[in-house]
Chains A and B, each alone.
Chain A
Amino acid sequence: MTPSNRRAPWFFLSPYLLLTLIFFIYPFLNAIILAFHQTNGPKSRAFVGWRNFIFVLSDSDFHTAFWNTTIYALASICVQLPLSLGFAMLLNAKKDNLKGIFRLILFSPHLVGQVFVGIIFALLFMPRHGLFNRFLQGLIFWGLDQEWLSNPALVMPALIIVSMWMYVGFNMIYFLAALQNVDQELTEAAMIDGANAWHRFWTVTVPAIKPVAVFVVIMSTIGSYQLFEMPYSMLRGYGPKNAGLTIVGYLYRTAFETGDLGTGAAIGWVLALIIFTFSMAQMAIARGTEID
């Protein structure tokens, strides 16, 4: 290699290295320091030890936020992802000219920013006049007068319904791509051997899509735990009795509405720890269930 060849990669990487140093490593280290300080806006601070963490972990609003976010994440994984897989399997015919169009339609909600989704669905959930309430009334003769966004018991179901609309198609794209990996010969061989479809699903399809499924589950978990903008805009804040308060909402409120950046940083660490723990657990489970 010529000297210019040796210098070139460092030169090409320098923007990344410089920006990462200033806007990632420095704030990252600062997040550790900040979490142990009491602050009042960006200007003043005083060392308080673990008090920020103790405050957060014993704050009942944090408990509410944690459970709300966890219910949302569970619904994403247990309801939304199977739906995405179901639609992907429905769409996965070999020759299908309409496949592309359905894929576009199912994906289209993902283009709409969460704030805009919140603005639109706040009106779709209106009692008496909202499109969703009318739809439910027409379908199951119930729901026209339900106050989805001001009845604390209905706030989380409403958020989950909106998240279905936003992400079912997005996750379907991944499953659809994964289904291309399913070995058709293997499916046929299993069929000849008399394996029923349920059996075929678990022995042929599931192993083939497993790497992608693990990826999608982990991405959904990480994304779910960072939910904030959609409920914040749809509920004009955090909902009645904090019924729509999420962990990031709690972080945002503490750091920027109350101005307590130290506690905000501590919440950030707690959130990072939660996400890290769940992703690791999911990866371990995925590895543990390896058949061969």
Chain B
Amino acid sequence: MPSFPPALVLSLGALLIPFLRGPLRKLYLLALPIVSFAALLATPQGSSFDYEAFGHTLTLMQVDKTSLLFGYVFHFAAFVGVLYALHVKDTTQQVSAVIYAGMALGAVFAGDLITFWLFWEGLAFSSVFLILARRQADSNRAAMHYLLVQIVSGLLLLVGIALYMHGHDGATAMARLTPSGSGHSIFNLDWAGPGVWLIFLGLGIKCAWPLLHSWVTVGYPAATATGAVFLSAFTTKCAVYALVRLFPGTEELIWIGVGMAGFPIFYAVIENDLRRVLCYSMINQIGFMVVGVGIGTELALNGAMAHAFCDIIFKGLLFMTMGAVLFRTGRMNGSDLGGLHRTMPWTAAFCAIGAASISAFPLFSAFISKSLIMIAAAREGYHLVWLVLLFAAAGVLEHAGIKIPFFAFFAHDSGLRPKEAPRNMLAAMAISGLACIGLGSFPDLLYRHLPYAIPDYALPYTWPHVIQQTQLLVWSALAVGTLMLLRFYPPELRSVNLDADWWYRKATRAFVAFGQGPLMRIFGWLSKAVHETIPTGLRYFARNPGGAVRLAFDRVALGWAGLFRGMPAVDAAQERLREDQARFAETTPGAAWPISTTVLYTAVVFLVFLLVVLA
């Protein structure tokens, strides 16, 4: 197998999909990630595939242990995802999903910021079709919301990169922007500046930082049953990868990560849509990774990457089980489901495996990755951080470990008797389930691919760690069980829970009481500006710019003249203004530009030039 960038194997290979039919197409879909993986294995370490383009060297492949780790797991996710979606006949979804996987691989192997940005945009534009493919009014709206946020992220990144290059003699290497070591502040002007801040913020949006996260919780639950599986794997993890690459040891990340790990779980408890619960839980898990990046020691970075690796697999598994339920029943609300283990026992079992993995039970995958981050936080003496993470780890069990399987497959009997998931879905879930158990039971499978060695004190299978973790989880489960027995547990209710997206949807007073009044008002104002005022204003203005300026001027002038209301001249002028405004609405755009005007402008412009050249 000659070496070739996997990103191109997938994204170019995807273009052939529409031309294949029937079983051949299925075979081809399954072969694509395998061929691409072989191409990756054939690529030597170091940089390759350099292209000279618009005056910069674009490096398509920067292969080292960090990028390889993400490359492996992205291939795994792509293969499992394709297998899971094998029954889908919608060409749009197939093509966009494969391109999307290719873009993710491109971003991870990008050797310079510009290449990274190109693939970053590709991620946004290819993935939105997985939401649009649902072809419903509300999912279309969610897709637009999703795309808009993604575009903003891309723009911030682009401007950030341009500013950064401008300040660093055109440096574009995809390498750490922070100085070596850890404990750097993003506000330290020695290494950071506006360019770096914009890059940071652009990554933050795709990483679903607090208040910037609503595109996840709006977009992913609106995706198709199979689309959400792909979405859960790539976009946010690319952002985590980029943080590992560019911002290791940035102290602010610790607190951002703590917020991500600690806050969304409250929403997860009361959310009804089970895939949205998974989204909140995903933000919670990414929070752990972000904390790891922020701590920035070798162990912490290892932990962040290992956790990303495991998370892609078990979160994918959970999204797959929920996708199967959605596919078979057409329902995703906890209040409509329940009792499905009768007819979907395999799906229920795989869901339990996913739940055990995300909750970090011993022998399951998160057990061997989350602990690295916890230990790194403890060793660096971040006491409060450690306590919040421990609380978040208990909370994961509550919402992802118990709530998801319980309300979907057990709980009260909804009466639904759907068929078991199709065989291809079961096969995909089985592969992921096995991977979760395999990684959890044999941690060295993962550890030896991490960029740094794992020290002895961080090895997961020690008696204290196993017992303490079991204790934490069992007692958390006990708490939930007890609350349920006492009828204290909040029931699943059909409802909408306001979230940060509410900022830019509606404004009420509740959050003012939360002490974020000014911020909310700015967001509300921005939202109105983006969605209504600016487009309407632009269209109004563009009808006849000259006229619009004149009207605005008249309005201001007459506003002052309003002090002398009652004077006949002023009243007449105001009447004229009203007439002008009424007429303006009927102006044919751009028509008010007769040829005499052009001649006049010519004379004026020439006069200006004459003055300029003869002065």
B is bound to A = no
Residue ranges of A at the interface with B (Cβ–Cβ < 8 Å): none
